[in-house]
Amino acid sequence: MSIVVTGATGHLGRHVVEQLLEKVPAEQITAVVRDEQKAADLAARGVRLAVADYNAPETFGSLFAAGDKVLLISGNEFDKGRVAQHKVVIDAAKAAGVALLAYTSAPGTLKAALADDHRATEEVLLASGLPYTLLRNGWYFENYTENLAPVLEHGAVVQAAGAGRISAASRADYAAAAVAVLTGEGHENKTYELGGDEPFGFAEYAAELSRQTGKEIAYTPVTPEVLTGILTGAGLPGPLAGILAEVDASIEKGELVVTTGDLTRLTGRPAQSLAEAVSAAVKG
């Protein structure tokens, strides 16, 4: 039996593999990657590498074995048909008879177009008859804290979320929830709505940045159209900019507030707080 992690060299996947190494022997972990070179450090630590690509179904043909537990990390190639990509993994997992397939989805409350691929993938997974776990990850702190340079330069947090609030958490927190499922028992056919412990608004985020950097930073709410223009002006592709602006509209409606407590229950510890996320980013 192996614990198999797809997208293992991605931002979330690396966290998952690192945390798995703290819980199980390296030889029990299989990291699915497209580029072996990017995972050379994992191989050096004893992790088994499997080279496969969501866009090449044949590469998943004999990757899984009966009894494996699989984490399907959702793809980020929005223009290549993510549902079909995910189905490649689900079909291969079903053919092999894996014990569990966990999928990183989106909150059930999210109505933005970003969630469409996730809902469709969930339908494919449930129809497969595989034992499943839906890890409906909320938004990531890193979506904001990794892009601090323009915020600090202009002294402004610019979002199209109005006074909406969001239950963000760190990649490490979401990874810990996945690891708990992959190494624990009793998670078959369960859905977990995951998010941070304390929702916050962007005025609070700006105030926390001000407090920790000593700079005067204000929250500047704009319309989704204006935000789309700002993001495309910064080099983002138009479709992706539109998706992010639509997510902000969902935040304004409260669609990314998660109140289940599932994340903390799975990990057994409090999720990273807003102050801690800002501190890590400012010091990093």
| Residue-wise pLDDT tens digits, 202-219 | 999 999 999 999 999 999
Cα separation of 15 and 166, whole Å?
Answer: 22
Residue 52: is it exposed, middle or buried by C-beta count within 10 angstroms (0-12/13-18/19+)? buried
- Does pLDDT of 79 surpass 80? no
**pLDDT tens digits along 222-263:** 999 999 999 999 898 998 899 999 999 999 999 999 999 999
Name the pTM for this structure. 0.96
Cα separation of 21 and 45, whole Å?
Answer: 9
Cα separation of 261 and 71, whole Å?
Answer: 21
With tokens 């990657």, the residue in question is: 33
What confidence score (pLDDT) does residue 284 get?
76
On average, the pLDDT of the chain sits at: 96
What confidence score (pLDDT) does residue 80 get?
66
Sign of the Cα pseudo-torsion (71, 77, 82, 87, in order)? negative
Average pLDDT over residues 63-85: 90
**pLDDT tens digits along 141-161:** 999 999 899 999 999 999 999
